[in-house]
């Protein structure tokens, strides 16, 4: 499609620059970019189930955490090489998402949202109480010297996640997911195996989040249940995807870029207020731009009227 050429060209150019330059950047900027890649990859992975399939998961941090812990345990206790441990972490998260998804993907709307929230809380509790995960004291990874491998790893996972989203936006399977989002009964009537489609989408979404979690564990060198299973991580995934545009390929990338820059700037200015501001951003995004930045750019809607359109329609 002709309309896709500019974003693809921009994306390719950005990718080339990102691949070529990390050696030239300051350590601070490299850390910022690794964090940005991580959040963007999480937002894109959430987008598969939340954006394309329309199942608003509020518990994807569970899969991030399972990936982090599976990788961490295999790396430290089993002393596997990192590549193997990471692959196993991704697979563990995908399998976990599929198993959890089979019962709870039968729920809809609020029920699904809260059930996923429950999954995340319960997973944290279980990890906290297991002995192999180090319980409440956490796990310490071997320390690696250079940040550059993490830079390239996160970038590759981000690229892979984005490509999955891109494939969804123009494939038979992706159209099936969109059909489920628009009208699940109609999708089923048209012959789509909706339970299978949803479970695969959930599992892929979880597996990718698990890979991110695995890299995160090794990068951050110390993981504990409180730090890994944070509700705020789920919120970041969701709000970045929604702010940029849920169900689009570029949206979550845009959202992650803008919002993580804002929060990075804020946290250097006022550390204690960073999370507070995150909450405010959630509220403002829902009020003023629930359709997302990507959509507004595409339609060039930037007047005050466009920002107010949402609550003109939905207020009482």
Interface residue list for other proteins (CB under 8 A): 56, 58, 103-104, 107, 109-111, 113-115, 117-119, 121-122, 125-126, 128-129, 231-232, 235, 238-239, 242, 272-273, 275-276, 278-283, 286-287, 290, 310-311, 313-316
Q: Do the beta carbons of residue 153 and residue 82 sit within 8 Å?
A: no
Residue placing its CB nearer to other proteins in the complex, 235 or 262: 235
Distance CA 47, CA 260 (A): 17
Beta bridge partners of 140: 222
Q: Do the beta carbons of residue 30 and residue 147 sit within 8 Å?
A: yes
| Shortest distance in whole angstroms from residue 285 CB to other proteins | 8
Alpha helices in the chain (DSSP H): 5-20, 27-46, 61-76, 82-104, 109-129, 148-168, 172-182, 184-189, 194-220, 225-228, 231-244, 250-269, 274-288, 293-299, 304-314
Burial 169-191 (b: 16+ CB within 10 A, else e): beeeebebbbbbbeebeebeeee
Residue placing its CB nearer to other proteins in the complex, 11 or 118: 118
Of 303, 310, 304, the residue nearest 289 (C-alpha): 310
Q: Do strands 222-223 and 139-140 pair parallel, antiparallel, or not at all (unpaired)?
A: antiparallel
Residue placing its CB nearer to other proteins in the complex, 115 or 200: 115
| Shortest distance in whole angstroms from residue 46 CB to other proteins | 12
| Shortest distance in whole angstroms from residue 205 CB to other proteins | 16
Residue placing its CB nearer to other proteins in the complex, 123 or 165: 123
Residue placing its CB nearer to other proteins in the complex, 142 or 279: 279
Q: Do the beta carbons of residue 82 and residue 75 sit within 8 Å?
A: yes
| Shortest distance in whole angstroms from residue 154 CB to other proteins | 25
| Shortest distance in whole angstroms from residue 37 CB to other proteins | 24
Residue placing its CB nearer to other proteins in the complex, 48 or 215: 48
Q: Do the beta carbons of residue 213 and residue 42 sit within 8 Å?
A: no
In the three-class reduction of DSSP (H, G, I as helix; E, B as strand; rest coil), residue 39 is classed as helix
| Shortest distance in whole angstroms from residue 192 CB to other proteins | 22
């Amino acid at each position: 499609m002709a309309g896709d050429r500019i974003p693809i060209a921009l994306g390719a150019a950005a990718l080339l620059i990102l691949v070529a330059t990390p050696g030239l950047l300051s350590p601070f900027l490299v850390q910022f970019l690794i964090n940005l890649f991580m959040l963007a990859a999480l937002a894109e992975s959430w987008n598969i189930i939340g954006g394309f399939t329309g199942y608003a998961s509020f518990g994807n941090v569970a899969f991030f955490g399972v990936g982090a812990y599976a990788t961490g345990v295999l790396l430290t206790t089993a002393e596997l090489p990192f590549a193997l441990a990471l692959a196993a972490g991704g697979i563990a998260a995908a399998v976990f998402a599929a198993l959890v998804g089979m019962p709870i993907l039968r729920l809809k709307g609020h029920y699904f949202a809260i059930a996923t929230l429950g999954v995340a809380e319960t997973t944290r509790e279980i990890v906290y109480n297991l002995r192999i995960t180090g319980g409440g004291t956490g796990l310490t990874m071997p320390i690696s010297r250079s940040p550059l491998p993490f830079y390239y790893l996160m970038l590759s996972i981000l690229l892979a996640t984005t490509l999955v989203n891109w494939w969804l936006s123009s494939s038979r399977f992706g159209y099936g997911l969109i059909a489920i989002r628009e009208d699940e009964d109609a999708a089923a009537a048209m012959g789509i195996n909706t339970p299978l489609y949803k479970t695969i989408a959930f599992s892929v979404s979880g597996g990718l989040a698990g890979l991110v979690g695995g890299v995160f564990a090794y990068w951050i060198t110390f993981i504990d249940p409180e730090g890994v299973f944070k509700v705020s991580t789920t919120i970041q995934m969701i709000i970045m995807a929604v702010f940029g545009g849920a169900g689009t390929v570029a949206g979550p990338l845009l959202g992650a870029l803008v919002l993580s820059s804002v929060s990075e700037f804020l946290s250097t200015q006022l550390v204690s207020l960073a999370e507070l501001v995150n909450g405010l951003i959630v509220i403002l995004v829902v009020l003023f731009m629930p359709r997302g930045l990507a959509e507004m750019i595409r339609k060039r809607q930037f007047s005050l009227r466009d920002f107010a359109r949402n609550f003109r329609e939905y207020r009482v």
